Amino acid sequence: MKKIQSALISVFYKDGLENIVRTLAGLGVTIYSTGGTQQFIEKMGIKVVPVEELTTYPSILGGRVKTLHPSVFGGILGKRDDETHLKEMKQYHIPEIDLVIVDLYPFEETVASTTDEKAIIEKIDIGGPSMIRGAAKNHKDVAVVANKADYILLETILKDQKGETSLEQRRTFAIKAFDVCTAYDTAISNYFHHLSVTTPFNKEEKAMRYGENPHQKAVFFGNLSELFDQLNGKELSYNNLVDVDAAVQLIGEFKEITFAIIKHTNVCGVAQRAAVKDSWDAALAGDPESAFGGVLVCNGMIDKATANAINEIFFEVLIAPSFDEDALAILKSKKNRILLQLKAQPQNKEMHKSLLNGVLIQGVDEGNYTEWKETGGRETTAVEKKDLEFANLVCKHLKSNAIALVKNKQLVGKGCGQTSRIDSLRQAVEKAKQFSFDLQGAVMASDAFFPFNDCVKLGHEAGVTSFIQPGGSIRDNDSIEYCKQNNLAMVITGMRHFKH
């Protein structure tokens, strides 16, 4: 058992502290304190010794340095059964400190309440964790309480045991103290790791009406005005934002005039033509059924002719870099229709996905291919090469397993989200047939390798003459040999584009 004769108290949270202080005072314990805690105790009418009397230094650097001094840490860390320690403490007038009641600056609470990095950093406690760890280390002689949740337990011990603590009790308090420090350091580390990967969670937040479904809550972190000016329509929903992101990512791949239609993050129509109106007509023709209620995106100015054509269908969002006045007048005829003027492409370099009990972070999928390796029965023609490059980029933005069929820079069939690649191809061929496309001379892109030659066979039977895929299967040669035997072109890129 150890008798508590002196205590150092320095806490941020004062609630629950008064009974402890009165109990210690009643036991004749000398109380050392600093700052706001010292003022709190003095207002209670209880005698308290300012820490500055021990250190002979005032609180300096805006309060950053108060207790970091040998007179404080010597009193906490000094071994009571070590003659050398006791001699040095006497020599330097260092009092023994038997009880340390210290909590930590509210770092996590500050992170949760503000994005002001300066304010957050100021709430990184230095002296507090040091005193807590020192007392916990020396728990053979010193009791430490680092959480206000333990005030009632401490008060009970003080009253029942007349100011004495057992080694077992001090060890229990020490374990809790180390846990407090560990959690605190982890929170700080997590904050800085988030900053280093440019996580969005330190940006401004906007509560959504609801999430993917009405019973789900949702918040968006970020500043959309950096990317868009909203020219018309209702507030963007969670699902709108998800599709808008998919649309913007896709359109950012192309330099030539391109129009695309997005539905549930997948491309259901996309085409490149010399004029915006022609691009729209070709994109819509790819799958006019799925276009209903979609998100539209273009990298050219929306003119009156295009606006009139678009106005004939129902859609949620239209994104473009500019609109002429006549086009805006037409498109604004529906008050809820969302019109976004795209000012800049997102510059994110990482993607985040919450899963299990953590977060996955990866770099964005940049690029189209790392090599252009002609492996088929012949070289691709100039027209095929342009279509293959276009198809590969489109396929990159479809959910895996993904197949894109393209002819004359128009998506004429697509299959996505299937559990087998051959099923995605069957879906793509059926889509093309549904809207009366002739696949003779079309090209096929696959987001990942062909595990067997069945996809190449089925594609060939449908009219496809050229294929592009990343390669990497142990059976690549099966597909390559089929192309060679049937005078089909095949390009291996070396770059897979899974999208889950």
Q: Name the residues annotated as catalytic.
A: 137, 264
Of 327, 315, 321, nearest in space to 240 by CA: 315
Tell me the C-alpha distance between 403 and 464, whole Å. Answer: 12
SS3 for the chain is CEECCEEEEECCCCCCHHHHHHHHHHCCCEEEECHHHHHHHHHCCCCCEEHHHHHCCCCEHHHCECCCCHHHHHHHHCCCCCHHHHHHHHHCCCCCCCEEEECCCCHHHHHHHCCCHHHHHHCCCCHHHHHHHHHHHCCCCCEEECCHHHHHHHHHHHHHCCCEECHHHHHHHHHHHHHHHHHHHHHHHHHHHHHHCCCHHHCCEEECCCCCCCCCCCEEECCHHHCEEEEECCCCCHHHHHHHHHHHHHHCCCCCCEEEEEECCEEEEEEECCCHHHHHHHHHHHCCCCCCCEEEEECCCECHHHHHHHCCCCEEEEEECCECHHHHHHHCCCCCCEEEEECCCCCCCEEEEEECCEEEEEECCCCCCCCCEECCCCCCCHHHHHHHHHHHHHHHCCCCCCEEEECCCEEEEEECCCCCHHHHHHHHHHHHHHCCCCCCCCEEEECCCCCCCHHHHHHHHHCCCEEEECCCCCCHHHHHHHHHHCCCEEEECCCCCCCC
31: phi then psi, degrees, rounded to nearest 5: -110, 125
Tell me the C-alpha distance between 287 and 484, whole Å. Answer: 33
Tell me the C-alpha distance between 400 and 395, whole Å. Answer: 9
Q: Decide: 41 and 33 in contact? Cβ < 8 Å.
A: yes
Question: For residue 10, how many other CB atoms are within 10 A of its CB?
Answer: 22
Radius of gyration of the chain (CA): 34
Q: Decide: 286 and 273 in contact? Cβ < 8 Å.
A: no
Q: Which amino acid, 246? A: A
